[in-house]
Amino acid sequence: MNENEIGRLVIDCAIQLHRDLGPGLLESVYEVVLAEMLRERGLKVARQVPIPIVYRGITFEEGFRADAIVEEKVLLELKSVEKTTKAHSKQVITYLRLSGLKLGYLLNFGEALMKDGIERIINGQIE
Protein backbone atom coordinates (compact mmCIF):
# COMPACT_ATOMS: atom_id res chain seq x y z
CA MET A 1 0.00 0.00 0.00
CA ASN A 2 1.38 3.42 -0.87
CA GLU A 3 1.07 6.64 1.13
CA ASN A 4 -1.95 7.92 -0.78
CA GLU A 5 -3.90 4.67 -0.33
CA ILE A 6 -3.12 4.71 3.38
CA GLY A 7 -4.15 8.36 3.53
CA ARG A 8 -7.55 7.61 2.01
CA LEU A 9 -8.20 4.98 4.70
CA VAL A 10 -7.05 7.38 7.42
CA ILE A 11 -9.44 10.07 6.18
CA ASP A 12 -12.35 7.63 5.91
CA CYS A 13 -11.76 6.37 9.45
CA ALA A 14 -11.29 9.88 10.87
CA ILE A 15 -14.56 11.08 9.33
CA GLN A 16 -16.43 8.02 10.61
CA LEU A 17 -14.92 8.40 14.07
CA HIS A 18 -15.89 12.08 14.20
CA ARG A 19 -19.44 11.24 13.11
CA ASP A 20 -19.72 8.54 15.77
CA LEU A 21 -18.15 10.35 18.75
CA GLY A 22 -18.53 14.00 17.79
CA PRO A 23 -16.05 16.82 18.43
CA GLY A 24 -14.43 17.94 21.63
CA LEU A 25 -13.18 14.78 23.35
CA LEU A 26 -9.58 14.41 24.50
CA GLU A 27 -7.01 13.79 21.77
CA SER A 28 -6.03 10.54 23.45
CA VAL A 29 -9.56 9.17 22.97
CA TYR A 30 -9.48 9.85 19.24
CA GLU A 31 -5.95 8.47 19.01
CA VAL A 32 -6.72 5.10 20.58
CA VAL A 33 -9.99 4.61 18.70
CA LEU A 34 -8.59 5.73 15.33
CA ALA A 35 -5.63 3.38 15.75
CA GLU A 36 -8.02 0.48 16.43
CA MET A 37 -10.19 1.38 13.43
CA LEU A 38 -7.12 1.36 11.17
CA ARG A 39 -5.92 -1.95 12.61
CA GLU A 40 -9.35 -3.45 11.90
CA ARG A 41 -8.73 -2.52 8.26
CA GLY A 42 -5.48 -4.48 8.30
CA LEU A 43 -3.06 -1.60 8.79
CA LYS A 44 -0.11 -1.58 11.17
CA VAL A 45 -0.34 1.41 13.52
CA ALA A 46 2.31 2.54 16.01
CA ARG A 47 1.21 5.08 18.62
CA GLN A 48 3.30 7.68 20.46
CA VAL A 49 6.31 7.01 18.26
CA PRO A 50 9.53 8.69 19.44
CA ILE A 51 11.11 10.97 16.85
CA PRO A 52 14.68 11.64 17.89
CA ILE A 53 16.66 14.75 17.09
CA VAL A 54 20.18 14.48 15.73
CA TYR A 55 22.21 17.58 16.47
CA ARG A 56 25.94 17.82 15.78
CA GLY A 57 26.15 14.09 15.45
CA ILE A 58 24.45 13.42 18.79
CA THR A 59 21.07 11.67 18.87
CA PHE A 60 18.59 12.92 21.43
CA GLU A 61 15.79 10.40 21.97
CA GLU A 62 13.82 12.92 24.04
CA GLY A 63 12.89 14.86 20.92
CA PHE A 64 9.27 14.46 19.94
CA ARG A 65 6.50 11.88 19.78
CA ALA A 66 4.28 11.42 16.77
CA ASP A 67 0.72 10.54 17.78
CA ALA A 68 0.68 7.71 15.24
CA ILE A 69 2.56 6.32 12.27
CA VAL A 70 0.63 4.06 9.91
CA GLU A 71 2.41 1.30 7.99
CA GLU A 72 5.72 3.08 8.72
CA LYS A 73 4.76 5.51 5.94
CA VAL A 74 2.14 8.06 7.08
CA LEU A 75 2.45 10.26 10.15
CA LEU A 76 -0.67 11.38 12.04
CA GLU A 77 -0.82 14.29 14.44
CA LEU A 78 -4.17 14.56 16.21
CA LYS A 79 -5.63 17.66 17.82
CA SER A 80 -8.90 18.46 19.52
CA VAL A 81 -8.94 22.24 19.43
CA GLU A 82 -11.33 24.87 18.12
CA LYS A 83 -8.93 25.83 15.30
CA THR A 84 -5.45 24.65 14.42
CA THR A 85 -2.68 27.19 13.88
CA LYS A 86 0.33 27.44 11.60
CA ALA A 87 2.38 26.16 14.53
CA HIS A 88 0.48 22.86 14.40
CA SER A 89 1.23 22.50 10.68
CA LYS A 90 4.88 23.34 11.26
CA GLN A 91 4.99 20.68 13.95
CA VAL A 92 3.93 18.04 11.40
CA ILE A 93 6.44 19.35 8.86
CA THR A 94 9.19 19.09 11.47
CA TYR A 95 8.16 15.54 12.41
CA LEU A 96 8.17 14.53 8.74
CA ARG A 97 11.58 16.04 8.18
CA LEU A 98 13.08 14.41 11.27
CA SER A 99 11.51 11.02 10.59
CA GLY A 100 12.20 11.00 6.85
CA LEU A 101 8.55 10.24 6.09
CA LYS A 102 6.88 11.80 3.04
CA LEU A 103 3.25 12.23 4.09
CA GLY A 104 1.51 13.42 7.22
CA TYR A 105 -1.95 14.45 8.32
CA LEU A 106 -2.95 17.01 10.90
CA LEU A 107 -6.37 15.82 12.09
CA ASN A 108 -8.35 18.23 14.25
CA PHE A 109 -11.26 16.48 15.92
CA GLY A 110 -12.34 19.75 17.54
CA GLU A 111 -13.90 21.06 14.33
CA ALA A 112 -17.68 20.91 13.91
CA LEU A 113 -17.15 19.10 10.58
CA MET A 114 -14.22 16.73 10.29
CA LYS A 115 -13.61 17.69 6.66
CA ASP A 116 -12.64 21.15 7.95
CA GLY A 117 -10.15 19.57 10.36
CA ILE A 118 -8.06 17.61 7.85
CA GLU A 119 -4.76 18.99 6.63
CA ARG A 120 -2.62 16.87 4.29
CA ILE A 121 1.06 17.72 4.58
CA ILE A 122 3.83 16.53 2.31
CA ASN A 123 7.38 16.62 3.67
CA GLY A 124 8.24 20.31 3.40
CA GLN A 125 4.89 21.47 2.00
CA ILE A 126 1.31 21.97 3.07
CA GLU A 127 -1.32 20.98 0.50
List pLDDT tens digits, range 28-53: 999 999 999 999 999 999 999 999 98
Higher confidence at residue 24 or residue 117?
A: 117
CA torsion sign for 50, 120, 106, 2 is: negative
Mean pLDDT of 54-76: 92
User: Smallest Cα–Cα separation from 41: which of 7, 92, 79, 75?
Assistant: 7
User: Three-class SS string for 3-44?
Assistant: HHHHHHHHHHHHHHHHHHHCCCCCHHHHHHHHHHHHHHCCCC
Helix (H) or strand (E) holding 106: strand 103-108
Is the CATH number 3.40.1350 carried by domain 3-126? yes
Q: 3-state class of 87 per DSSP?
A: helix
What percent of the chain shows pLDDT beyond 70? 97
| pLDDT value of position 38 | 98
The Cα–Cα gap between 67 and 74 comes to 11
Q: 3-state class of 73 per DSSP?
A: coil
Say what the pTM is: 0.92
Residue 125 has pLDDT above 80, yes or no: no
**Residue type at 80?**
S
